[in-house]
Structure 1
Amino acid sequence: MSAFTTPPPDLAPAQMQTLVRRLYGFAGEVSPLISERDQNARIDAGTGTFVLKIANAGEDLDQIALQNAAMSHLGRAGVQGVPQVVPTLAGVDTAEVDVSGAKSIVRLVTWLDGALLSGGPRSLNQLQNLGAFMGRVTRGLQGFGHPAAFRSDFIWSLDHVGNLSSWDSYIAAPARRRMVEGLFARYSDRVAPRLPGLRASVLHQDANDNNVIVDASDPDRIVGLIDFGDMSFGRTINELAITLAYALLDADDLYASMRAIIGGYVSEFPITEDEAEVLFDLMRMRLAASVCISSRRAKEHPDNAYLTISQEPAFRLLERLDTLDPEFMVALCRCAAGFDATRSEQAVRAHLARSEASPMFHPDIARSARFALLTNAPPAGMPDIKDRAWDDWFVAQRPANLPLNVGFYGLGSYGEKRSVYTAAQFADAASEERRTRHLGIDVFASAGTPVHAPFPGRVHTIAYNAEPLDYGHTLIIEHATPEGVPFYTLYGHLGGSLPGLLAEGQEVAAGELIAHFGDWDENGGWAPHLHFQVMTDMLSQKGNFFGVGHDSLWDVWSGICPDPNLILRLAPESFIVDPNPPAKLMDRRSKSIGPSLSISYAEKLKVVRGEGPWLIDHTGRKYLDAVNNITHVGHCHPKVVEAIARQAAVLNTNTRYLNDLMLDFSDRLTAKLPGDLKVAYFVNSGTEANELALRIARTAIGKKSTVVLDWAYHGNSGGMVDISPYKFKRKGGYPQPDFVEIAEFPDPYRGPHKGMSEASGRAYAADVARCLDAVEAKTGSGAAAFIAESISGVGGQVVYPDGYLKAAYDHVRARGGVCIADEVQCGFGRVGSTFWGFELQGVVPDIVVMGKPIGNGHPLGAVVATPELAACFANGMEYFNSFGGNPVSMAVGLAVLDIIDGEGLQAKALETGDYMLARFEEMADRHPLVGDVRGRGLFSGIELVRDRTTREPATEEAGRIVNHIRQQGVLASTDGPLDNVLKFKPPMVFGRAEADILITALEAALAEVGA
């Protein structure tokens, strides 16, 4: 305080000229400068421009030495824009002179050309440059030390600002006094205990706008820093805190200004997490110190009105900051410094990503019908969500044919910018920007809809937030990661049942009923819905939490409140309005795609995504795929995707060049086959594989004669349609080719030989012998190619009677024929108890045909034959396939085998398949429509009949059931000669949980259709 009360030196310009000439040896023009306690003047000389500094007689000489040493150190460290001390003629930094009978210290320092920062408006670019400049100063001062820097009694030191706590009593206004008291209490509780663990260094400590020099022609450019009179040793982060305190005075946008300064600073001098977390509080404490010191001085010097006037900007800033959540400002500082908004963010995100949440809604929202509700781009005719007409409108959106057991929801997205937040609570004093960006996910449904806990936890708070457009009844549950990191879920706009369901502090189990959707008069005045939100930190809130954030601060808000879809796990399409829905695609399809290309279901399905046993439509709804045996190991299996990408990035070419992959896959594949099936050919599809198999067989027997099963289907090429009664005997077909003989379909349920006994099998096989007799009558030889699926797919998932294929193969081989097993649908472990369908019959074919599952949807097929047949086929006519056996396809085939073996999918097919068949048999007891249940593993079917005695086919009912379960989110199809068989051949990752979903859907459909 002595320097403040001692009058400053008062030399005349002529005296200062004389002083400069005597001490420094040159003359210059003197221009006095404003100074509070010293006397300063600009000296314009021929050798340059300088500042003459004549210290107050009460100035501490050691402090002047500190300043000189610091400026010199910064100059040596390469920090531009810092005044440098000019030595006297005697070679020293300072000289002692007599000024009006008192001893004063004289210095000469270099002049920094420019204008004061206080002379113009702020820009964010300027503030960022200011932060960067101060970061360079801080970096330059690292390693600098001086005895005079240790000033434990320095009232402006933020390390010791707690010593000023009693000075808040000098603040005249009670409200302001209480505000500052609260700051000291928070500092004592939250900041002071952390200071010993923070970095420390010598600091400038006074980067106010009268000490910062900018380029006069480009004010955004910081030229330099003057006045090193407040230097002391302290926590390094204090430098940035002080810079912020001065720079934010009367700033229009506190958020943007803070980010600019902090971002610039850390670009030159990174700070630690601990430093980032105390920065906001230290900045406020600089302002608190300022108003406390000025209030005390005003009390001591009541005639100095400037003291109270000058503190007004600091009070205004403190009052603005006091309206903000301090922990949010801490999060902002963390983000600006390059850290996550909260310390727990990554731990919480990781936990949610790996944890399976219990369904919050029943029926499960992931499998329910839904539509995206974009508040700022509503569908035509949608009322405002604050208008009660919404109720009727929402009910009208539910599809008329949607079964009652299927949920229907409207979904409002996380992160959406909305214009509906018009209440005062969505604005704050820090900037003119309103909070408009949604921090939760909205789930719209009728009032009273139950809500269940996704994870175990403890009730944090139950509150009724009654402000208009607030949450109304609100529940917050605290959870924890396995490592003990807390996080929170919020449920807003709830019904009045909440207080009776739970109590604060109560433990909640995953899946437990916790609330119901509220109605208009209890949920804040909104359409009935749930606002669901996740918080990694509660900040300073209790009983409520921000549901909307600033768009410009989205990185901060999204770190505090990550996307709740980490829990709900709804497909992204759930929150998007598809501009090309099914009806529009059907119109386009009718004009550009051949009409003979069929499409499933009465209500067409646009599929945009696949995952495991699930397909996802354009609305984000998940459908359980119970029929797609092509994606054998699951839709988009990551190992298959990786294999395609990896190999496609290296090489993809034809088989005229040697490549390890084709040989590796051939060895792996043939090792799965019995007997002498050792020679492989690779093609692009099951159709092409069957074409090649017949070529091999016909070359071996010397003719085209072919025996097929009635209702067989082997592909869609011309040659395959020729041997597929399923095609040529139906609408649009043509007469049976003369080289094709059709054997009786060995159907144990509907054919003439009932049951699965070996006697039935031999009886059906006798008709194969009849066909061979017919071949002999036409050609003089009974030799023929006999091709049959190991289990009939299009025939209605029919498993042949025991011994059928063995007896049939015996007849064929006895006539010199070749036996071909079509495993395109049922191979690769699908039947469960064996890897190949033909093994169920105890036979070994001469040729095996593979397709569909071999590539998991990638175009790949294979033919495996014996060496003898391969030698016969090599008759001089080259066999070549442009794409068959290419390296990418081979990599995919290997990946599929790895997955089948590595994930135990064959055993899973057996377990799940047995479970499904047993449940189907139970359904038969309750539903007369079920005539027959059949299949092996994950290749099964249910034949529907209107009368079990007459076995009249329930064809129309089968179609209705397939469409009914499609509406329930389960995909299946019909097949069989009478199109009355429900067929199930799902991806092999289909387990008991998925089987239960299928069975539940079937039960509902059978109950309705069969009623």
Structure 2
Amino acid sequence: MSNHWEAKLSENFGIDASLESLDGEYDLNFFANASSKKYVLKVMRVGCEPDFINMQCAAIRMLNGKNLCTPEIIPTVSGADFASVNDEEGNLRLVWVIKAKSGVCYSKIYPRPIDFIYDLGKKIGGLNKALKEFDHPYLDRDFKWNLMESNWITDYLYLISDNDRKDILIEIIEEYNSVLHKANKLPQFAIHNDLNDYNILATSDISEGVKVSGIIDFGDMIRSPHICELAISCAYIALDQENPIKTIADLVGSYHTKNPLTELDLDLLFIFLKMRLAVSVVNSTMMSKENPDDAYITISQAPAWRFLDQKFDANMVLAKLRLACGFEVIKNANRILDYLHKNRGSFANIFQSSIEHAPMVDLSISGTALPQNPFDLRLDEAAKIGSDINADYWLGFWGEPRLIYTSQAFRSGIYNNSNRRSVHLGIDIFTNSGHKISAPLEGIVKTVENRKFHLDYGGVVILEHNNNHGDKFYSLYGHLNPNVLKKLSVGQIIEKGEIFCELGSENNNGGWAPHLHLQLSLSLECMNSNWPGVSDPDELNFWGKLCPNPASLLNLDDDKTGYKKIDKKIIQDERKSNFGGNLKLSYKNPLMFVRGWKHYLFDQMGRTYLDAYNNVPHVGHSHPRIQRIATKQLQQLNTNTRYLHPILNEFSKVILDTMPDKLSVCYFVNSGSEANELALRLARTATNGQDIITPDHGYHGNTNAAVEVSAYKFNKPNGIGCKPWVHIVDVADDYRGEFRRSDPNRANKYANLVDRALSQIKLREGKLAGFISETFPSVGGQIIPPSGYLSKVYEKIHTAGGICIADEVQTGLGRLGSFFYGFEQQNVLPDVVVLGKPIGNGHPIGVVVTTKEIAKKFDNGIEFFSTFGGSTLSCAIGVEVMKIIHDEKLQKNAFLRGESLFEGLLNLQLQHPIIGDVRGFGLFVGVELIVDNNLTPATEIAAYIVNRMREKRILIGVEGPADNILKIRPPLTIDNNDIDCIISALDECLNEVKTFTS
């Protein structure tokens, strides 16, 4: 077939090209590859009317040049828009050609970022605005895909065998018919009418992102209201989206900026969206009966049903669409708010005493450490909230992000870093139980219940109110004494100032310290039966408008009772102003964290992040034992090593107990940098030499001496460069280095590179002080040297009279699972061991451990003193960290979780060739990403993945000379559920990369 049409293409359009068949429901479509130019040949069905093509070509020509990504018409050799030719069977066919647009169908694009949705909405809005000027008689033809004439599907519902789904369609049709008369009053224009996910093209680039590149196939154009265009577009764009309603709202909001919508448009949109999908599934069912082997005609049926099967709250959808377009969240919302504002000060007091001067108490994430475990508010914690406040009444803020809402009901996913509701939507008034509560204004009881679940409302009442215009709004009173059920009934009228309930106690109010949760809502239609009192921070724009600050009902100012959230931009701008430019932030979109727990971090609004990056909190963020020991020691004494104290000796003992016998002397300093600096001093003093040998791309800290032996730093642009007394050897990377894993002698070959460095020292008439290396180079790329490498190196160094320094800052203290220190895996005995940040779990501690012989030489009459190194506070914390590692079996956990992590990563490697190597031990893991079999580093892809993982609320890093190695090194508290979360998210990111690289 293609040979025939190749000849016709050449004959009629002067284009010599090879053809490749494309999908189509009625017509033949071919991709025409003419070397440097690409086209699409469209062969119309037998009997196609010329006006059908005339309409499309005229519309496309009018739209060209308006930056709407429409195709370009290629004329015939005679200058016509199309040609009439015979097919292989002698049938007359109309054929035409367009220039191919770059990109792939939207259906094949993942992820679908918000910037793309915004861009698409503007393109569609611009398209509709431009088409207002277009007219053609063929727009008024009868057409089954005319959304204004969709009732034909009623006659074919018998084809739907699933009765539940048939009922869904019947309900959609009834809803559609109830508003069709309104839609018929809307102005009608030319619309594309089929902006589905196969008629929108997109380009994707790892650095540029996803962009709209084409709007194609104008064959379904009709005359119809613009809302039909938008409903159709939204119907397909939302399919299989993680948050389809947000996607719809984003698309509608951006469309509105180019082609403004009315409130009536928004009233109709979701109804028409569902009707379009109903037409689609009925049509595909009909077609599949006729052509059971044709996959194209049923291609969108499954995702369409997945959408229709969901029970969306139509009122909530409408409210979110209204907000997206800048309208009030509900009609007359501003009129209600104006009424409340004007009557502020005249409402009846809710309590018998005034709360005008009651203090506001900060329960925010950054303002309190409650709860200690942000995933489990204890009964005693809930019952004692504010027990230390010395006031008859005190208030909790509206709009305040809190971590006290810890049950699974507040999370939307299976992982701890899933979306979580954390922002308070009411005002809390804390006082003694039994206090009587009066209605601030007249109301009708809509709900009176006892919600008995732990940390629920307990007794709760909802009152309905009216303003002067008959607009209804609602107030909720939670944490009441459940005896209110005996006093009130639905429909009962409560007069202004009438006592109608009383505060419950922790025994009957859900388990909370006695308080009233007062919440305002402008509508009941968007509130489910649970009446959420807390919002997901990502949904706060909606919930904050629907449930605004109820301060007016308390005769208080919004400014007093509304939480002043931390402004990340202000914090970032001040940081930029107050600090040097080389104080860097992680991620393209920097994060602000105000709380931590175990291997989780919490931002200023309560979003939870899984920390698989930071190895400093070795035993977990905010460990309660460390909190207690630090508090206790600070209450007693914090001084330095010039005085005797048993904790100094205890700290040295718990460290030395983990070391080989020969390593028997400790020095305590403030950091790994200072520890490495001291280690170099020990080596130089003990040997009377200066020269140091060290592997390339190593990092040992930010002091002058540490930077001098850190190629990772001194080789940077504008770095200090390599000093004459520093000698670099290749890092023992047996994946991409000179000697690979296929070479059984690679360990010796890498070790022999030290000989060259020793020769250089001799040549410059220097003297060797020693060899320093991260046992497993971390910034070098989470490198695991081949077995036997360090033993051979150490042998050469010792023979040459040098000292061997093992920098275990990254690898020590059980992180490796199978080994407490990295040097154990290499079966070597260092002369000096350096420990750093993990041993303080965030408190600044560095440790140097060495032999008595080296210590004796260092004791040369010059005092060694570090003001804060070895302080009583530091030692107490260090001892506790070592005890926690043992007591909580964290080395074993590192081993077990590391096994699970490796298994998951190796499975991913089988599916994603971009993973070149997975290496490490325990929870010290590197994943090297490559572009091809030549091991070309996938640097851009690694950066993309790290930032996408951050968007999925998982923190990992990148390392290596080319920044192409994913670094995974979480606190040792991580569990298997978190490992599953990491693997699942990483798999999603790697699949996204396939979109960019295909």
Determine the structure 2 residue equivalent to 1:451.
437
1:568 to 532, 551, 554: 554
Matched to 1:186, the amino acid is E
Q: AA paired with 1:334?
A: R
Deviations 1:90-132 (A, max 9, x none): 4432332222232221112232233333333122212221212
The answer to whether the aligner puts 1:23 opposite 2:12 as a matched pair is yes
Q: CA deviation at 1:156?
A: 2.6
- The residue that corresponds to 1:53 in the other structure is 42
Match of 2:444, SS?
strand
What's the CA shift string for 1:784-821, capped at 9, x where partnerless? xxxxxxxxxxxxxxxxxxxxxxxxxxxxxxxxxxxxxx
Please report the TM-score for the alignment, with normalisation by the length of structure 2: 0.51
What CA distance in whole angstroms lies between the structure 2 residues aligned with 1:174 and 1:74?
45
Cα offset, 1:458, TM superposition: 2.5
Q: AA paired with 2:399?
A: G
What are the superposed Cα offsets for residues 878-903 of structure 1, whole Å, 9 maximum, x if unpaired? xxxxxxxxxxxxxxxxxxxxxxxxxx
The counterpart of 2:129, out of the listed 133, 139, 142, is: 139
Q: Residues 539 and 169 from structure 1, CA distance in 2 versus in 1: closer, same or farther, beyond 3 angstroms?
A: farther
Amino acid at match of 1:134: I
- The SS at the match of 1:221 is strand
Q: CA deviation at 1:374?
A: 0.6
Match of 2:269 among 269, 275, 279: 279
Match of 1:376 in 2: 365
CA distance in 1 between counterparts of 2:462 and 2:565 reads 34
2:100 corresponding residue in structure 1: 111
CA distance in 2, matches of 1:536, 1:569: 18
1:71 aligns with 2:60: yes
In the TM superposition, structure 1's runs of 4+ consecutive aligned residues that sit over 6 Å from their partners are: 380-386, 575-579
User: Structure 1's 17 and 308: CA in aligned 2 closer, same or farther, altered over 3 A?
Assistant: closer
Deviation at 1:55, TM superposition (A): 0.3
Contact 2:68-2:123 at 8 Å conserved across structures: no
Q: Which of 496, 499, 502 is matched with 1:510 structurally?
A: 496
Report the residue type matching 2:393 in the other structure: Y
TM-aligned CA distance change 1:364 to 1:231, over 3 Å: farther
CA–CA distance in structure 2, aligned partners of residues 379 and 111 of structure 1: 59
* Counterpart pick for 1:341 among 313, 317, 329: 329
Asked whether the 8 Å contact 1:344–1:537 carries over to 2, the reply is no
Q: Is the contact between residue 458 and residue 509 of structure 2 (CA under 8 Å) also seen in structure 1?
A: yes
CA distance 1:454–1:30, shift in 2 (3 Å): same
1:505–1:316: structure 2 CA closer, same or farther, 3 Å change rule? same
Instruction: Give secondary structure in 2 for the equivalent of 1:514.
Output: strand
Q: How far 1:563 moved relative to its partner? A: 0.8
C-alpha distance in 1 between matches for 2:413 and 2:269: 20
Contact 1:208 1:243 in 2 (8 A): yes
When residues 296 and 44 of structure 1 are mapped into structure 2, their CA distance, relative to the original with a 3 A threshold, is: closer
Shift of 1:226: 0.9
**Residue 470 (str. 1) matches residue 456 (str. 2):** yes
The alpha carbon displacement at 1:542 in A equals: 6.6
Equivalent residue for 2:355, pick from 348, 358, 366: 366
Match of 1:414 in 2: 398
Confirm or deny that 1:250 pairs with 2:240: yes
1:224 positional shift: 1.5
Task: Check whether the contact 2:370–2:403 (CA below 8 A) recurs between aligned residues.
Answer: no
2 CA distance for matches of 1:380 and 1:20?
73
Provide, for residues 319-357 of structure 1, a one-character-per-residue CA deviation record: whole Å limited to 9, x for no partner.
34x2x4221121111111222222222111111110144
**Counterpart for residue 894 of structure 2:** none
Letter in 2 for 1:347: R
Which TM-score applies when normalising by structure 1? Answer: 0.51
- 1:596-627 deviations in Å (ceiling 9; x for gaps): xxxxxxxxxxxxxxxxxxxxxxxxxxxxxxxx
Confirm whether residue 553 of structure 1 aligns to residue 539 of structure 2: yes
Contact 1:461 1:543 in 2 (8 A): no
Secondary structure (helix, strand or coil) at the match of 2:275 reads helix
Distance 1:387 1:43 in 2: 68
Deviation at 1:300, TM superposition (A): 4.7
Pairing 1:530-609 to 2, within 5 Å after superposition: 530-541=516-527, 544-571=530-557, 572-573=559-560
Distance 1:56 1:578 in 2: 62
Cα shift readout 1:483-526 (whole Å, capped 9, x = no counterpart): 22222212223222323433322333211122222334543443
In the TM superposition, 1:304-319 aligns within 5 A as: 310-319=300-309
State which structure, 1 or 2, has the greater radius of gyration over its C-alpha atoms: 1
Q: Report what 1:796 is aligned to.
A: none
Matched residue, 1:155: 144
Question: Residues 474 and 494 of structure 1 are in contact (CA less than 8 Å); yes or no, is this contact kept in structure 2?
Answer: yes
User: Which amino acid letter does the alignment assign opposite residue 55 of structure 2?
Assistant: L
CA distance in 2, matches of 1:463, 1:144: 59
Whole-Å separation in 2 of the counterparts to 1:391 and 1:62: 73
- C-alpha deviation, 1:225, in angstroms: 0.8
Q: Which residue of 2 aligns with 1:498?
A: 484
Equivalent residue in structure 2 for 1:221, among 168, 190, 211: 211
One-letter amino acid matched to 2:457: Y
Tell me if structure 1 keeps the 8 A contact 2:123–2:255: yes
For 2:456 and 2:81, how far apart are their aligned partners in 1?
66
Cα shift readout 1:551-603 (whole Å, capped 9, x = no counterpart): 12222212111111132243545577999xxxxxxxxxxxxxxxxxxxxxxxx
Quick one: structure 1 residues 26 and 248, their matched pair in 2 at CA, closer, same or farther if it must change by over 3 Å? closer
Change over 3 Å in CA distance of 1:382–1:550 after alignment to 2: closer
- Corresponding residue for residue 957 of structure 2: none
Q: 1:47 to 1:388 in 2, by over 3 A?
A: closer
Q: How many residues get paired?
A: 556
Write the letter of the residue equivalent to 1:441: I
Q: Distance in 1 between matches of 2:123 and 2:565?
A: 50
Equivalences for 1:229-248 in 2 at 5 Å?
229-248=219-238
Residues in 2 aligned to 1:474 and 1:198: alpha-carbon distance in whole angstroms: 45
Q: Secondary structure at the match of 1:208?
A: coil
Which deviations, in whole Å up to 9, do the C-alpha atoms of 1:303-334 show, x marking residues without a partner? 557766742222223334x2x42211211111
For residues 173 and 204 of structure 1, the distance between their equivalents in structure 2, rounded to whole angstroms, comes to 32
Instruction: Give distance in 1, aligned partners of 2:13 and 2:297.
Output: 38
1:97 is aligned to 85
The answer to whether residue 474 in structure 2 is matched with residue 484 in structure 1 is no
- The CA distance in 2 between the partners of 1:205 and 1:65, in whole Å, is 17
1:176 aligned to which of 161, 165, 174: 165
| Identity percentage of aligned residues | 30
Q: Secondary structure at the match of 2:184?
A: helix
Q: What is the CA-CA distance between 1:248 and the residue it aligns to?
A: 1.9
* Equivalent in the alignment of 2:254: 264
Query: Equivalents in 2 of 1:556, 1:392: separation in Å?
Result: 31
- The alpha-carbon distance between structure 1 residues 306 and 64, as it changes in their structure 2 partners (threshold 3 A), is closer
| Cα distance in 1 for residues equivalent to 2:370 and 2:117 | 48
Q: Partners in 1 of 2:79 and 2:40 — Cα distance?
A: 18
Q: Which amino acid aligns with 2:213?
A: V
Letter of the 1:128 partner, please give it. Answer: Y
Q: 5+ residue gaps in structure 2?
A: 567-998
- Asked if residue 528 in structure 1 is aligned to residue 514 in structure 2, the reply is yes
Confirm or deny: 8 A CA contact 1:129 1:220 kept in the other structure.
no
Mapped partners of 1:145, 1:397: distance in 2 = 74
State the Cα deviation string for residues 708-755 of structure 1 (Å, max 9, x = none): xxxxxxxxxxxxxxxxxxxxxxxxxxxxxxxxxxxxxxxxxxxxxxxx
Structure 1 position 437 matched with structure 2 position 432: no
* Aligned residue in 2 for 1:753: none
- 2:241 and 2:266 map into 1 onto residues whose CA distance is 21
Would you say the 8 A contact 1:391–1:527 is kept in 2? yes
Cα distance in 1 for residues equivalent to 2:383 and 2:533: 26
For residue 415 of structure 1, report the CA deviation from its aligned partner.
1.0
Return closer, same or farther for 1:300/1:53 CA change in 2, 3 Å cut-off.
Answer: closer
- Tell me, in whole angstroms, the C-alpha distance in 1 between the residues paired with 2:481 and 2:405: 21
Residue 396 of structure 1 and its aligned partner are, at CA, apart by 5.2
Distance 1:297 1:469, change over 3 A: farther
